[in-house]
């Protein structure tokens, strides 16, 4: 088995957050479904962090284990064809089997935008 790291960007407007929830569309659910279709094996991603409903991300990290032989750097190209337009893989690389996205030395940056005006922007 190989461990593959994905860098994921998404517009979370249509999703109920990262984590799988019964009967609701989620980023994790879409990734699992697309990877399972692409690699022809049951895939469960592990994300670096969860996001709430409607939240967007530029560089959320996820990993998954696979026995598939497709080169790691090609997975991002192939996977993007299986994903909806509002979820895109920015990068895919093979990492050490013990790499875990929640335990690596990284930083999270949150940006909040509040539109405080009478009329919304298109």
Q: How far is residue 110's CA from residue 17's CA, in Å, rounded to a whole number?
A: 15
In DSSP terms, 33 is beta-bridged to none
| Alpha carbons 72 and 101: distance in angstroms, whole number | 17
**98 catalytic per annotation:** no
Give the Cα separation of 53 and 17 in Å (integer): 4
CA distance 61 to 48: 5
Q: How far apart are CA 5 and CA 103, in angstroms?
A: 13
Which residue in 52, 65, 86, 98 is the catalytic one?
Answer: 52
Q: What is the DSSP letter of 15?
A: S
Q: Which residues are catalytic, by number?
A: 52
């Amino acid at each position: 088995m190989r461990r593959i790291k994905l860098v994921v960007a998404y517009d979370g407007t249509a999703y109920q957050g990262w984590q799988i929830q019964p009967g609701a569309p989620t980023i994790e659910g879409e990734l699992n479904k697309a990877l399972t279709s692409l690699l022809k094996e049951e895939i469960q991603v592990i994300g670096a962090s969860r996001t709430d409903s409607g939240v967007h991300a530029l560089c959320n990290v996820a990993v998954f284990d696979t026995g598939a032989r497709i080169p790691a750097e090609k997975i991002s190209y192939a996977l993007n064809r299986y994903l909806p337009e509002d979820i895109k893989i920015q990068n895919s690389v093979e990492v050490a089997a013990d790499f875990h996205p929640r335990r690596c030395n990284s930083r999270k940056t949150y940006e909040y935008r509040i539109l405080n005006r009478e009329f919304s922007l298109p």
